[in-house]
Amino acid sequence: MSAAREEMSGLETALSHANKLLAVNPSLAAQQADEILKVIPNQPNALILFALAQDRLGNADSAIELLRQLIQIQANWALPYLELGLILRRSGNVSDALIAVQSAVSLKPDLPKAWLALANLYAEIGDNHASDNAYSRHLQYSVTDSQLISAASALVENRIPDAEYILKNYLKQYPTDVAAIRMLAEVAARLGRDIDCENLLARCIELAPSFHHARQNYALILNRLNKGEDAMAQAAILLQIEPDNLSYLNIKAVALNKLGDCTEAIKLYEAILKKHSQYSKIWHSFGHTLKTAGFQERAVQSYRNSIQLEPTSGEAYWSLANLKTFRFTEHDVAEMKLQLLRQDLTNEDRFHFDFAIAKALEDQREYAESFKHYEKGNQLRKTLIHYSYERNQQKVEECKALFTSEFFYERRDFGITSAEPIFILGMPRSGSTLLEQILSSHSLVEGTMELPDVISITKSLYRKLKGPNAKTYYPELLEMSQEESVSFGERYLAKTQVHRKQGLPFFIDKMPNNFAHIALIQLILPNAKIIDARRHPLACCFSNFKQHFARGQNFSYCLEDIGRYYRDYVELMAHFESVLPGRIHCVNYECIVENTEQELGRLLDYCGLPFEENCLRFFENDRPVRTASSEQVRQPIYKEGVDHWRHYEAWLGKLKNVLGPVLELYPEVPIFKRG
């Protein structure tokens, strides 16, 4: 053996020995690596081992310096970038850690450990979309099963149907594979199947309690579903593992906000931002909490801080626009238009910029140019979602066929006797937040939020149905027993209790989409009040077209789809009025604006409540408000908004045609005939 080969063999033996010592005795590992470096200065493998040993010995600063030195020598080697990023993250320097790990995956894209680290780092700064993509890359390069590799690749490339098909087949063979279950949960999330996503992630952490990434995703989806109490419980588990993890702290703050504890949420955000003021997404989340609590000026500043850190954030600009009462400067508009010229802008940022610019131009009375941006934003958003107006119409037909006067008469003894809930439902952007603010100003009524609990019951009923032809949960209501109806009514009251902070006799559930579930509400809560918030068809439909919803309301990104949806809504409400006469109280937005005191009297009479002057001074109510109208309902009623849609009437021809008699006869309702 030559001297060179002997020297190489000796080096490999020494490095191997030092590597084994690293896990059990980092002090000896450091000594071994140091000896190698004395013989071969700057030997890369010895240098990285020496750095890792220093980190394990508690000398993080020394380890960071050594790794930076190594990167100067070996600029194209991914491993020191990764190890540097991991140490920086543990040291609390998330920004530099992110840069280091991004460099690692840039140099070696098939390094699974680096993608996992990147997923965790993105999650910490609140970029959940980037985190999920990085985690898909981690799976793509870490799993060995060819089916999972294919599924992960499909997720990375956003081929969602392919990923779903592969994963469902794989899980038939291996039903407890947590990596596959977690990937299928991501598929469900991307398709907007939030309940499926929740159940899959719950199964993940049941099978693998230490699967922290799945638990984090589980907490996020619980927050999205307004299950703040459950999200808090998951955040507590995660924070026991990493008390200073930004992502876990953010989950807790969002959960506090969902539970109506804005004061504690604000305190937590303030504490986070004292240490970590450099993260755009955290400032953005803080802005949402401040907006909910009614601190508009602070919310504006928080959104502006987010923009300063991330000028490409179309969502932050839209959050400013979504305050409704905020006005952009000329400089703001110029900046937004400049960002739209970027070729590297994501579709999500692009449509957010279009919506924000459209709102700015609307405020400047430049209606033609404003409409162009609303149209562009909606067209792009529509390409990223799925909505079938035909399916919605089929649901209406099925609902009308099944839920007749005879159906309800036969079940007249169903449900629980409680009259505590007051449901405000109807189309989004119909004035429901105004009605909620008025009623919640009454001393006997508590305003909560858009509660998910009725829809949660519908999902559980839908899952009981078998066969591919089941389009709705409605057939399950035919089979529901009187005992089951009582059980569901009790479940609803129990689940909503967490949102009732004041102990008042009545509370409001303002989920607009509950209008599709009136049959269920009647069966389980026959004494609950149901208020239909209705607004002029063109005013309501165009207001939906102008609104970018964070999630859901997929009908709202095309004027013709919105018109059909409004028409279906009016038809369904007319049906329930005919089979349950007098059961639902309809409030026209224009009437309550024009004759507030008179309409308030009718509303309170329907609810069985005495008149209170506070209801007329609803704008002084400082309760948290979570909808897009939060700032508008903190002001007295203004009549100018009633006919604001007329500025855009020149471009609403298709909408008018679709609405037909529903528009022509408003506020009267046409006779609907399906042929």
Tell me the per-residue pLDDT of 76-120, one tens digit each, with 9 for 90 and over. Answer: 888 888 999 999 888 888 888 889 999 998 988 888 888 888 888
**pLDDT over 90 (residue 219):** yes
Question: What DSSP designation does 581 have?
Answer: T
CB-count exposure of residue 608 (10 Å: 0-12, 13-18, 19+): exposed
Residue type, 606: Y
Summarised one tens digit per residue, pLDDT across range 432-462 is 989 998 999 999 999 988 888 999 899 889 8
* Identical fold, 226-230+239-310 and 391-461+503-664: no
Which pLDDT score, from 0 to 100, does residue 50 have? 84
Check residue 637 and give its pLDDT: 66
Q: Is the pLDDT of residue 469 over 70?
A: no
Domains of the chain: which residue ranges? 226-230+239-310, 327-384, 391-461+503-664
The secondary structure element, H or E, covering residue 588 is: strand 584-588
User: Where does 428-578 show beta strands of DSSP type E?
Assistant: 445-449, 506-509, 529-534
Instruction: State the pTM of this model.
Output: 0.79
Residue 192's pLDDT band, with cuts at 50, 70 and 90, is: confident
From residue 202, alpha-carbon distances to 82, 197, 215, 320, 389 in Å are 31, 9, 8, 35, 32
Q: What is the mean pLDDT of residues 570-587?
A: 96
Alpha-carbon torsion angle 10, 12, 17, 20, nearest 10: 180
Q: Check: CB of residue 623 under 8 Å from CB of residue 447.
A: yes
Distance CA 24, CA 45 (A): 19
391-461+503-664: CATH topology is Rossmann fold (3.40.50)
Domain spanning 226-230+239-310 has what CATH number? 1.25.40.10
15 pLDDT more than 80: no
Assigned token pair, 156: 């990375």
By C-alpha distance, which of 248, 336, 334, 319 is closest to 280?
A: 319
